[in-house]
Structure 1
Amino acid sequence: MPKVLIVEDDPAMAALLERGLTDEGYEVTRVDNGVEALIQATTGEFSAAAIDVMLPEMNGFEICRHLRNQGNLLPVLLLTARDSVDDRVFGLDSGADDYLTKPFAFVELSARIRALVRRDSATPKQLMRIGHLSLDVPAVRASIDGKSLPLSTKEFSLLRVLAARAGETVTRTEILEEVWGTTRHIDPTIVDQYVRYLRKKLQPFESGITIGTVRGTGYTLSDDTAE
C-alpha cells in the first residue's frame, strides 16, 4: 500500500484529503506544521507528499529545499492559493515535483498523486554512466572523472532524463513531464533555460558530453568521445 504524507494546517482541508486518499487505498500520515513535516519526510518511507505552502514554523518551499539539499527524492506536490507564474516557478525551483493551486477538485489532486507515486516506483536506483559522466541517482550527485559536477535538483533531474536516453531526441513535453511533473501552467521555454544552465556547467570539464538542440522538438545528449 503506497504511503502518502499530507501537510496541511487547515483541519477541514486536511481531513478531506486524508479521507479521500484513504478511500483510494493509500496509507495516509497527516501533520499540520512544517517542522513535523520535515521530520516525517526524512524518517518515514513515503511514495509522495502533498504539502501546503503556507504553514506554521516552516513553509512548503523551505521543506522542499531542505529535502533536496539532503538528497531526499520524495515526490512533492505543493498546494497553494498563490497562483502567479513567479510563485509556481519558485516552488518548482525549490525542488517540488508538481504544483496545484487552490481551490482544486479532489479528482485532480488524486490524479497528480497517482502520477507522483508511479514516478517514484519507476525511479531508477542505480549509478548511471555515460562516457566520463557518472550520475548517482539516489544521492542526486553528478561527477565527471571523479570530480564533482555541482547541479541543482532540477538540473540533475534534467541531466538524468537526457542521459537515460542518450543518443535519442527527448521532446520538451517529455522533459516537462519527467522533470517538472506536468505541462500545465509551465512555460515550455523553462526547459531551454535549464539546458543552458547545464551546458554552462558542463563546458569547463571538457568531458565530451554535449547536449544538442533538435530544432522545434527538444534535445539530445551525446558522448563525443565514444567510438
Structure 2
Amino acid sequence: MKILIIEDELKTAAFLKKGFMEEGDVVDVATNGIDGQHLSATGDYDVIVLDVMLPQRDGWWVLQEIRKRRAHQPVILLTALDAVSQRVKGLQLGADDYLVKPFAFSELLARVRNILRRCHVRAEDVLHYADLEVDLLRHKVWRAGEAIGLAPQEYRLLAYLMRFPGEVLTRTRIAEQVWDMNFDGDSNVVDVAIRRLRRKIDDPYSGRLIHTLRGVGYVLETRD
C-alpha cells in the first residue's frame, strides 16, 4: 500500500511511519494541513491517516478538500477529542473511520485493512500471475507451489510488479512507488533490486517472468 500520514506530532508520525513500513508499505508524511492537502491532491494513496488537530489548517478542512476532489478516497481520522459530537462531525464530513488517541498501532492497522476491503481499494488479498502467487496479507510468495523467501524490499518490488502485469514500469515509477524516492538516472538501485529478485523468482524455474526493456524499465509477463 501507499499511505499518507498527516500528523503534526513528530513522534507519533515517526511511530506510524515505522509501523507501516515494517508492514511493507510506502509512506509519505505531512506535518501540517496545507502540506497534507497538497500531497493528498497530487499523490495517489491507498489510504490517508489524518489527524484532526493540525497547524495552519485543521483536519476538518483537509477532509473537506479531499472530498471535493476524491469522493472515494479512504480516510481515517485520528484525534485526542473523544466527544460523540466530534466523531459524528468527522463521519458527516466523509471520514471512513475514526480512532481516538492514544491507540495501539495494531488497531489502526486492522482498521486500515478493514477500510480497504470495504472500499474495494484492493480487489483481492492474493495476487496471481502465471504460476506466481503473492499473499498481500501474510507477505508470502510462491512459485510453482514452492514457498520463496524474500527480503522486505524484494517483496515490495514484486508486489508492485504483480499489480501491473503486462505493463511496462519505468525505473522512475518503480523508485517512487517502491522506495518512495526520486530516481537518479545515475543510480542502479532499481536494477540491483531486480537482479536480486530474479535470482529467487526466475532463475530456479522454467520461463522468465521479469523482463527488461532496455532504456525504459521492466515488465512482468510470460513470453514464449
1:1-227 alignment to 2 at 5 Å?
14=9, 32=11, 50-51=13-14, 67-68=22-23, 73=24, 75-77=26-28, 107-108=34-35, 111-112=38-39, 118-120=45-47, 122-183=121-182, 188-224=187-223
Q: Distance in 1 between matches of 2:37 and 2:184?
A: 18
Deviation at 1:124, TM superposition (A): 4.8
Is the Cα contact below 8 Å between 2:26 and 2:180 reproduced in 1? no
> Which ranges in structure 2 are unaligned for 5 or more consecutive residues?
48-115
TM-score (ref. length: structure 1): 0.50
Q: Distance in 1 between matches of 2:182 and 2:197?
A: 21
Q: Distance in 2 between matches of 1:116 and 1:155?
A: 23
Deviation at 1:105, TM superposition (A): 7.7
Is the Cα contact below 8 Å between 1:166 and 1:221 reproduced in 2? yes
| SS of equivalent to 2:14 | strand
Deviation at 1:168, TM superposition (A): 2.4
| SS of equivalent to 1:192 | helix
Q: Distance in 1 between matches of 2:218 and 2:199?
A: 15
Is the Cα contact below 8 Å between 1:173 and 1:188 reproduced in 2? no
TM-score (ref. length: structure 2): 0.51
Q: Distance in 1 between matches of 2:185 and 2:34?
A: 21
> Which ranges in structure 1 are unaligned for 5 or more consecutive residues?
7-12, 18-31, 38-49, 54-59, 79-99
Task: Specify whether residues 211 and 185 from structure 1 end up closer, same or farther in structure 2 by C-alpha distance, changes over 3 A only.
Answer: closer
Deviation at 1:107, TM superposition (A): 4.2
Q: Distance in 2 between matches of 1:163 and 1:203?
A: 14
Corresponding pairs, count: 150
Q: How much is the aligned-residue C-alpha RMSD, in angstroms?
A: 3.9
